[in-house]
Amino acid sequence: MRVSQPIEEGPNRAVLLGAATDDASWPVDESLDELARLANTAGIEVVGRVTQNLSDPHPNSYLGKGKIRDLREEEKSTLRFDTVIADDELSPAQQRYLEDTLDVQVLDRTAVILHIFALHAHSREGRLQVELAQYRYRLPRLTGRGAMLSRLGAGINTRGPGETKLESDRRRIRHRISELNRDLERVRDQRALHRRQRRASGIPVVALVGYTNAGKSTLMNALTGAEVLSSNQLFATLDPTTRRLELPNHQEALLTDTVGFIQKLPTDLVAAFRATLEEVVEADVILHVVDASHPQVEEQAEAVEDELEALGVLSKPRITVLNKCDLVTSQRLEILKRVFPDPVVTSAVEGAGLDNLRARIAETLARQFVQVSVDIPYTDAEFVGLFRAHGVIEREDHESEGTRITGRLPAALLPSFQRFIG
């Protein structure tokens, strides 16, 4: 079964709607610049913008009703727009009001992001996740104009007696959602198994995280010779990729590239990509890649930190990478070096700072792992398993009394092994 795209086919000429609210940390114009880039990535042309200062978005109409009427009366003929995109997630009521008043396609930031995700997901898991997120998003919005887009598959009509089109659509979507959840569970078990195997190999994992378009994939390619798609689009990467990373002193790690973050990222969408982000949760070190050339660099970094906090990984060792340094003046760089704690400065496209970054990763890992030699009696054999699962074994000998292991252990596990250290 194919998901019908949430965005209508054909030319889409959109007007962006933005509410400048009191508590917004992000200036509305910059937020709309970003929304315009999202729209372009989704294949939509942006022909105008309407913003309004409001303490909160209007509960029934997003912007004030006067503003919306002006848009209809004054601008509709001049701008010839067929779509509006709100910068915040619209409630079903807001969506309906805008549709009824403007008689155009009404989208919000989430719908546009979902559309981009659908275009960019390639793995089976990625596709399942996007489909699930799309249905979850559409279920409460199956009325009015949206209902026309709600048909699942073509030519199937399984409406039960006495059931309205809307009810049968809802029922089928719920059914599909539970199917998707089941399929995803299976894919996730598979992924968890792979992660366990990787863990057991004892090679530490380093995860790239950052705002979308910060240069994570370009950095991944520069560091490992991988050929992950990097492109000047938002959310170019959805599916995680892992490659071997060589560090100084013949040390090795695995480097994982992940989906980017964005401000106002809907929690449902984050939930749908939970499995992808488990790679981050299980990493030993997190590389936070920051686009040093972006005017909103601090706000972007903050949005990423918020997501890291939600994932519960703020306590993991983290290295801030100020990327795209080729695009900033040395003066600006000095300022940023004071804003971000102890950053490594890189240019992924020019290959600058990569040796420093490798050295910093090695140092950070070394701080977490300690070299030990332990004699584990056969009666405590479960500790051999523990060492295997979390440490790096360099040598293992089976002696008469027990197992002698030489290797590296995470510093946090040292107390548990203290009594085996001879």
Ligand X SMILES: Nc1nc2c(ncn2[C@@H]2O[C@H](COP(=O)(O)OP(=O)(O)OP(=O)(O)O)[C@@H](O)[C@H]2O)c(=O)[nH]1
Residues that bind Mg ion (CB under 5 A): 216-217, 236-237
Q: How far is the CB of 236 from Mg ion (least distance, A)?
A: 5
Q: Which does 241 bind (CB under 5 to 8 A by kind): ligand X, Mg ion, none?
A: none
Binding-site partner at residue 61 among ligand X, Mg ion, none, CB < 5 to 8 Å by type: none
Residue (111 or 208) nearer to ligand X, CB: 208
Task: Rank residues 94 and 218 by Cβ distance to ligand X and give the closer one.
Answer: 218
Q: Which helix (H) or strand (E) holds 335?
A: helix 330-339
Contact 345, 329 (CB under 8 A): no
Most distant CA pair in the chain, distance = 90
212: partner contacted, choices Mg ion, ligand X, none (Cβ within 5-8 A by kind): ligand X
CB of 281 or CB of 352, closer to ligand X: 352
Closest CA to 104 of 174, 7, 243: 7
Q: How far is the CB of 1 from ligand X (least distance, A)?
A: 28
The encoded tokens of residue 99 equal 């549709």
Q: How far is the CB of 237 from ligand X (least distance, A)?
A: 3
User: Among 265, 318, 232, which residue's Cα sits nearest to residue 114?
Assistant: 265
For residue 65, what is the enclosing H or E element? helix 65-70
Considering beta carbons, is residue 31 or 241 the nearer one to Mg ion? 241
Q: Which is nearer to ligand X, 61 or 213 (CB)?
A: 213
CB of 217 to Mg ion, least distance (A): 3
Q: Which of residues 281 and 349 has its CB atom nearest to ligand X in the complex?
A: 349
Q: Return the number of the residue (31 or 323) whose C-beta is nearest Mg ion.
A: 323
Give the number of other Cβ atoms within 10 Å of residue 122's Cβ.
Answer: 11
By Cβ distance, which residue is nearest to ligand X? 260
DSSP summary character for residue 73: I
The one of ligand X, Mg ion, none whose footprint includes residue 234, by CB under 5 to 8 A per kind, is ligand X
CB of 216 to ligand X, least distance (A): 4
Selection from Mg ion, ligand X, none that 235 binds (CB < 5 to 8 A by kind) is ligand X
| Beta carbon of residue 232, minimum distance to ligand X (angstroms, whole number) | 3
Q: Tell me, what DSSP letter sits at residue 422? A: -
Distances (CA, A) of 376 to 43, 203, 380, 398: 61, 22, 6, 10
Residue 318 interacts with, from Mg ion, ligand X, none (CB under 5-8 Å by kind): none
CB of 343 vs Mg ion, minimal distance in Å: 20
**Residue in the shown chain whose Cβ atom is closest to Mg ion:** 237
Q: How far apart are CA 339 and CA 186, in angstroms?
A: 43
Q: How far is the CB of 105 from Mg ion (least distance, A)?
A: 29
Query: Of 71 and 228, which CB lies nearer to ligand X in the complex structure?
Result: 228
- Select from Mg ion, ligand X, none the partner in contact with residue 57, using the beta carbon and a kind-dependent cut-off of 5 to 8 Å: none
Instruction: Report the nearest approach of ligand X to the CB of residue 218 (Å).
Output: 3
Return the exposure string of 397-410: e unless at least 16 CB atoms fall within 10 Å of the residue's CB, then b.
Answer: eeeeebbbbebbbe
Provide, rounded to whole angstroms, the least separation between the CB of residue 81 and ligand X.
27
Q: Name which of ligand X, Mg ion, none residue 323 binds, using a CB cut-off of 5 to 8 Å depending on partner kind.
A: ligand X
Q: Are 210 and 288 in contact (CB under 8 A)?
A: yes
Nearest alpha-carbon partner for 113 in 39, 209, 212, 49: 39
Residue 283, Cβ neighbours under 10 Å: how many?
24
Q: Which is nearer to ligand X, 235 or 369 (CB)?
A: 235
Pick between residue 106 and residue 272 the one whose CB is nearest to Mg ion.
272
**Taking CB within 5 to 8 Å according to partner kind, which of ligand X, Mg ion, none is near residue 362?**
none
Angle at the Cα of 291 (from 20 to 217), degrees rounded to 5? Answer: 120
Per DSSP, what are the bridge partners of residue 144? none
Q: Which residue has the tokens 């659908």?
A: 118
Instruction: Name which of ligand X, Mg ion, none residue 347 binds, using a CB cut-off of 5 to 8 Å depending on partner kind.
Output: ligand X
| Total residue length of the chain | 422
Q: Which residues bind ligand X (CB under 6 A)?
A: 210, 212-218, 230-232, 234-237, 260, 323-324, 326-327, 347-349
Q: Contact 348/397 with Cβ under 8 angstroms?
A: no
Residue 379: is it exposed, middle or buried by C-beta count within 10 angstroms (0-12/13-18/19+)?
A: exposed
Rounded CA-CA distance 277/297 in Å is 22
